[in-house]
Amino acid sequence: MRTPLIAGNWKMNLLRAEASALTEAIVTTTSQTNGVEVLLCPPFVLLDTVRAAIGDSDVELGAQHLYSEPSGAYTGEISATMLVDAGCKFVVIGHSERRQFFGETDASVRHKIKAALDAGLTPVVCVGETLEEREDGSTPKVIERQVSVALERFKPEEVAKMVIAYEPVWAIGTGKTATPETAQEVHAFIRNLISKSVDKQVAKGIRIIYGGSMKAANADELLAQTDIDGGLIGGASLKAEEFSAIIKAAS
Ligand code: PGA
Residue 237 CA, ligand 1 centroid: distance in Å = 9
The CATH class for the domain spanning 5-250 reads: alpha beta
Q: Which helix (H) or strand (E) segment is 81 a member of?
A: helix 80-85
Atom of ligand 1 nearest to the CA of 215: 3
Residues 114-132 have pLDDT tens digits of: 999 999 999 999 999 999 9
* 88 alpha carbon, distance to own chain's centre: 13
Q: Provide the 3-class DSSP secondary structure of residue 116.
A: helix
Active site residues: 95, 167
Half-sphere exposure of 161 (CA within 13 A, CB side): 17
Query: Counting beta carbons within 10 angstroms of the beta carbon of residue 216, is it exposed (0 to 12), middle (13 to 18) or buried (19 or more)?
Result: middle
Please tell me the distance between residue 9's alpha carbon and the centre of ligand 1 in angstroms.
7
Domain ranges of the chain: 5-250
Low-confidence stretches of the chain (pLDDT beneath 50):
none
What gap in Å lies between CA 235 and CA 240, rounded to an integer?
11
- Residue 233 C-alpha to ligand 1 middle, in angstroms? 5
Task: Give the orientation angle of helix 16-30 with respect to helix 240-250, to 10 degrees.
Answer: 30
d(CA 129, CA 150): 15
Residue 248 is predicted with a pLDDT of: 96
DSSP state of 174: T
Task: Give the integer Cα–Cα distance in Å for 221 and 128.
Answer: 20
Q: Does an H or E element contain 63, and which?
A: strand 60-63
Ligand 1, CB within 6 Å, residue ranges: 9, 167, 172-173, 211-214, 232-236
Best residue among 172, 213, 218 to mutate for probing ligand 1, ranked by most atoms within 8 Å of CB: 172
Can you give the pLDDT at residue 1? Answer: 83
pLDDT of residue 136: 95
Distance CA 230, CA 249 (A): 10
For position 177, what pLDDT does the model report? 85
- pLDDT at position 230, please? 98
CA distance 23 to 59: 9
pLDDT reported for residue 173? 87
